[in-house]
Amino acid sequence: MRGPHNILRLIRTGATLERTGAMGLIMDAFEAPPLVRGTMRFLAWPFQWLGYKGDPASPPAPRALTALGPAYIKFGQILSTRPDLVGEDLATHLRVLQDKLPPFPVEVAKTSVAHELGHTVDELFENFSEPVAAASIAQVHKATVRGTGEEVAVKVLRPKIEKAFRRDIDAFYFAARMIELLSPASRRLRPTDVIAHFEGVVMGELDLRLEASSASEFLANTAEDEGFELPTVKWELSGRRVMTMGWADGVPLGDNAALDAAGHDRVALGERVLQLFLSHALRDGYFHADMHQGNLKVAAGGNIIAYDFGIMGHIDEYTRRVYAEILYGFIKRDYRRVAEVHFEAGYVPADRDVDEFARALRAVGEPIFGMDANRISMGSLLSYLFEVTERFGMETRTELILLQRTMVVVEGVARSLSPQINIWQVARPVVESYIKDSIGPRAAVRDLGKTLAVLARYGPRLPAMVEKALIRQSEMPEPPRTTHWLFYLISVIAGCAIGVAGMLLAGFWP
């Protein structure tokens, strides 16, 4: 499926952008150099007839991306959160891709619900509305549960969505391999691995049972977070292609006029969105990885409501600490420490010069911190950092792709609410708190306790392990029996000591 036939798909992508008029808008938004602009137009123009026409009633950019398919729509959703990169007009046009795409018929949705849950819609619900929101993968209906009267949101996958995504991903794989073949320098960026990561994320989003599980875990992690709430999953009304959750009432986070009319403080909301994301990523290592305006509302009381948990990010504790130290180093403008963290984590080859890398990082950070508050951007930092790491041979870290992408999206959401927001100033207390709790002396003691607690499980097995080790040495002269029993006694004492110390430090001892 990933052979040369995908060339036609990629040509059709450029042809569709040209035919719908989106090519010029996108080139203008990114301020593409004349050479790039001319080359793209030259390659796409002769093949316009191959491009999809799309919906003439839609603006050019969403018209093109919607016609091309769900994977391209995802790309447009990301751009819709970055008016600082693509301009306010294009970002506004692309925002319809978040939850205002053309829906599929309600009867098709009802058939899917009946097939998935084993009962007709009329048996399960007192009423079942027309689609209230339609995105790239699924659409949502408002319903009332029969018997309880509870209002719920019923999410139903689009028909044949799996096949549509597979087609796009196959083309992306082909493009990635062609890039690696034609540009050896690009291999350090591991474009094929990046597409594989994207594929894993998307395939998980196509099983709503996994999304329901993600929502449940996320709710448990964030139950105590002030100013944040999540709808609850209705497991008995959920399956692979259908998911039911409590109905979330609120003002869309992307509607600034409605937020102002409702009396909400947009500056506070922008700060809270950013701090919540960083708290979830650093504290829990589990975060909502699709936090654009279409997946966020503001309740009447001011709480931010998140929904649509198809894309969740996970990073292990070690990576969290590395990420926090890098952020904190930039916040403190300690570029030497940022460089050391990159080397300690193995992100930069050990044969490179750490001092030279630190100087390069200073060249990245200082211009950013010299900007006005409303121009300080983590997105810009990531862009500049990309250029520096290329010089020092740093490979793409696929485990950080989703985190970095979400950081860019969340920053865009925060800026859409409060254009003057100082991203670093807002992030600082969250990062400092995590550093204090996870990297200081108290954290070292806690880590030691966890390590000893794990070792304690092996305490009862240490004598047998020592016995086996001694037997393996049978080809060597037999040690005196007093030595044999001495080893045995030491292993027993060590096992007991490790077990007690582990339980004490881990807080398991009464």
The rounded distance, in Å, linking the Cα atoms of 216 and 138 is: 19
Where do the H-state alpha helices sit in 156-227? 161-182, 191-205, 208-222
User: Quick count: other Cβ atoms within 10 Å of Cβ 429?
Assistant: 11
Residues 6+ apart with CB under 8 A from 215: 230, 231, 233, 245, 309
The rounded distance, in Å, linking the Cα atoms of 345 and 340 is: 9
Where do the H-state alpha helices sit in 349-397? 354-369, 378-391
Q: Is 255 one of the catalytic residues?
A: no
Closest CA to 81 of 421, 422, 419, 416: 416
Bridge-based pairing state of the strands 151-157 and 138-145 = antiparallel
The rounded distance, in Å, linking the Cα atoms of 270 and 470 is: 64
Q: Is 131 helix (H, G, I), strand (E, B) or coil?
A: strand
Closest CA to 87 of 28, 14, 6, 146: 28
DSSP state of 304: E
Contact 452, 502 (CB under 8 A): yes
Which is catalytic among the residues 290, 316, 355, 447? 290
Which residues carry out catalysis?
Answer: 290
